[in-house]
């Protein structure tokens, strides 16, 4: 069995970004409004300074420091400058009423906040001796003209979209959505709303995995439940490979007589990796399925294949730890690894496992971690109750009070 680190390295090494030449044109231009969570395919360079002029950081009065240095504290108010209006040069010996975000009049070199002034009869008394530059946001203080503000590979968060808009970007060039085909195997699977026959279970993985894929912005084709038959599984793989970047399955990757996914993939392509030394989620298959050969192609292309275990928690955890970073790498994202926290374990787990364990836990009011009582791979309740996963190394028993590595779900779901 591979270690989790080696398994992840294997997947990421194989994940060719869609912008590689082998995939042809893999970008599109979108309205900045529509680019949330997409990955930039072209850097964003600012065509202007931000702010584009000196602006006031406060409601108050724009003044010349030299005028106040001469001893005069009472100045006539020569103009009023709201935000969005062009001011006149500030006449010597006067002040300008100014508002937050407004352009500082040429000649003014400080702003005195209104709480430090007294205004009456068209004049203002300055009760504070300002320094040059006080309460003025200089032109280009945030962004300089020509600066790269968003590099290629950036995932576009709401803040990133706002940053692009702040320099006037109405459109952005992004990597197209990763196309993922997903299907589920198991004659025991039943869809919610249908009668539950003896020996059957509801197909929770279909909802969990398609939801996770959509969270990541993938273009998802859901082939539903595929019968436990080798011929049908092979036919579904062939159809899915023709139009998708990745085929994702759940169930059928173990070694039972009714587990047909692995032999089907080996018949239609190849398996490069199978078992991982982790708990939950040991049976995880990675490989590729041949696409139908085009007449103009010298050789058949391939669609990636990842087969997840059927147990719901195993499927959920392996998706977060392996499929998510793989998909992000395909989309060209620069950062694919989740950030982990070092937190205190407020529990003990005396029994160590020889595999890398991923324990469902949540942060308690004291800032420590509580462990979900039942860590079975079938207990989906733990994934809703928990805030994240404790990454516990192999052969390590946890003692109350020690510091453990905790990966929040907020780092794994998007």
- Span 70-91, average pLDDT: 93
Q: What count of Cα atoms within 13 Å lies in the side-chain half-sphere of residue 374?
A: 9
Enumerate the β-bridge partners of residue 189: 201
Write out pLDDT tens, residues 14-63: 998 887 655 556 999 999 999 999 999 999 999 999 999 999 999 999 99
Q: What is the pairing mode between strands 110-113 and 95-98? A: unpaired
SS3 at position 190: strand
C-alpha–C-alpha distance, residues 388 and 410, integer Å? 8
SS3 at position 354: coil
| Cβ–Cβ < 8 Å for 286, 323 | no
C-alpha–C-alpha distance, residues 143 and 50, integer Å? 5
What is the CATH topology of the domain spanning 55-137?
Molybdopterin biosynthesis moeA protein; domain 3 (2.170.190)
Write out pLDDT tens, residues 241-275: 999 999 999 986 655 555 688 899 999 999 987 78
SS3 at position 345: strand
pLDDT above 70 covers a percentage of the chain that reads: 95
Report pLDDT for 158: 96
The token pair that represents 159 in the structure block: 């803040």
Phi-psi region at 224: left, alpha or beta (left = phi > 0; alpha = psi -120 to 50): left
H or E element at residue 364: none
pLDDT above 90 covers a percentage of the chain that reads: 82
- H helices then E strands: how many in the chain? 9, 26
Q: What is the pairing mode between strands 55-56 and 136-137? A: antiparallel
| Cβ–Cβ < 8 Å for 223, 183 | yes
Task: Residues 4-25+177-330: name the CATH superfamily.
Answer: MoaB/Mog-like domain (3.40.980.10)
Write out pLDDT tens, residues 151-164: 999 999 999 999 99
| Number of neighbours of residue 407 by Cβ within 10 angstroms | 20
Write out pLDDT tens, residues 184-212: 988 788 889 988 888 888 899 999 999 99
Mutual orientation of helices 230-243 and 261-268 as an angle, nearest 10°? 50
C-alpha–C-alpha distance, residues 78 and 124, integer Å? 10
Mean pLDDT of the chain: 93
Q: What is the CATH number of domain 341-411?
A: 2.40.340.10
The CATH 2.170.190.11 portion of the chain extends over 55-137
- The burial of 360, by beta-carbon neighbours within 10 Å (0-12 exposed, 13-18 middle, 19 or more buried), is given as buried
C-alpha–C-alpha distance, residues 32 and 295, integer Å? 39
| Number of neighbours of residue 14 by Cβ within 10 angstroms | 16
The token pair that represents 168 in the structure block: 């006037």
298 pLDDT band, cuts 50/70/90, is very low
Report pLDDT for 23: 56
- Span 55-84, average pLDDT: 94
Whether 234 has a pLDDT exceeding 60, the answer reads yes
Write out pLDDT tens, residues 307-338: 999 899 999 999 999 999 999 999 999 999 99
The CATH 3.90.105.10 portion of the chain extends over 27-49+148-175
Q: What is the CATH number of domain 27-49+148-175?
A: 3.90.105.10
The CATH 2.40.340.10 portion of the chain extends over 341-411
168-184: string of b/e by CB count within 10 Å (b at 16+)? Answer: ebeebbbbbbbbbbbbb
Residues whose CB falls within 8 Å of the CB of residue 1, separated by 6 or more in sequence, listed in order: 275, 276, 277, 282, 355
| Number of neighbours of residue 35 by Cβ within 10 angstroms | 21
Phi-psi region at 146: left, alpha or beta (left = phi > 0; alpha = psi -120 to 50): left
Specify the residue for token string 């001011």. Answer: 87
* 3-class SS string, 212-281: HHHHCCCEEEEEEEECCCHHHHHHHHHHHHHHCCEEEEECCCCCCCCCCHHHHHHHHEEEEEEEECEECC
C-alpha–C-alpha distance, residues 310 and 294, integer Å? 34
C-alpha–C-alpha distance, residues 405 and 408, integer Å? 10
- The rounded Cα 337 to chain-centroid distance in angstroms is 10
Write out pLDDT tens, residues 356-408: 999 999 999 999 999 999 999 989 999 999 999 999 999 999 999 999 999 99
C-alpha–C-alpha distance, residues 230 and 295, integer Å? 28
C-alpha–C-alpha distance, residues 328 and 215, integer Å? 12
The CATH 3.40.980.10 portion of the chain extends over 4-25+177-330
C-alpha–C-alpha distance, residues 64 and 70, integer Å? 11
Q: What is the pTM of this model?
A: 0.88
């Amino acid at each position: 069995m591979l270690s989790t680190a080696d398994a992840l390295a294997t997947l990421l090494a194989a994940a060719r970004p869609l912008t590689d030449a082998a995939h042809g044109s893999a970008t599109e231009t979108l309205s900045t409004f529509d680019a949330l969570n997409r990955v930039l395919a072209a850097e964003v360079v600012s065509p202007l300074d931000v702010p584009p002029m000196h602006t006031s950081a406060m409601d108050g009065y724009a003044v010349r420091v030299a005028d106040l240095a001469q001893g005069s504290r009472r100045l006539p108010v020569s103009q009023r400058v709201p935000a969005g209006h062009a001011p006149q040069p500030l006449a010597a010996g006067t002040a300008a009423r100014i508002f937050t975000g407004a352009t500082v009049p040429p000649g003014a070199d400080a702003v005195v906040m209104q709480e430090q002034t007294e205004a009456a009869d068209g004049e203002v008394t300055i009760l504070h001796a300002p320094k040059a530059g006080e309460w003025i946001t200089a032109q280009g203080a945030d962004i300089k003209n020509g600066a790269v503000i968003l590099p290629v590979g950036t995932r576009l968060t709401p803040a990133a979209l706002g940053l692009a808009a702040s320099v006037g970007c109405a459109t952005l060039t992004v990597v197209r959505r990763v196309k993922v085909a997903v299907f589920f195997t198991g004659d025991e699977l039943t869809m919610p709303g249908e009668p539950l026959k003896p020996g059957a279970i509801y197909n929770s993985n279909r909802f969990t995995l398609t939801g996770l894929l959509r969270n990541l912005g993938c273009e998802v084709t859901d082939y539903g439940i595929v019968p436990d038959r080798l011929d049908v599984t092979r036919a579904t793989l062939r159809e899915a490979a023709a139009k998708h970047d990745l085929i994702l399955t759940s169930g059928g990757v173990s070694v039972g007589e009714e587990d047909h996914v692995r032999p089907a993939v080996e018949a239609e392509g190849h398996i490069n990796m199978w078992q991982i030394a982790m708990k939950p989620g040991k049976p995880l298959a990675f490989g590729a399925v041949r696409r139908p050969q085009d007449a103009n192609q010298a050789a058949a292309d391939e669609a990636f294949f990842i087969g997840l275990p059927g147990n719901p928690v195993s499927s959920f955890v392996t998706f977060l730890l392996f499929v998510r970073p793989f998909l992000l790498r395909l989309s060209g994202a620069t950062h694919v690894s989740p950030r982990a926290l070092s937190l205190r374990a407020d529990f003990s787990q005396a029994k160590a496992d020889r595999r890398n364990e991923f324990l469902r836990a949540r942060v308690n009011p004291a800032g420590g971690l509580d462990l979900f009582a039942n860590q079975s791979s079938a207990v989906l309740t733990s994934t809703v109750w928990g805030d994240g996963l404790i990454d516990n190394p192999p052969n390590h028993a946890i003692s109350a009070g020690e510091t453990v590595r905790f990966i929040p779900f907020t780092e794994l779901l998007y």
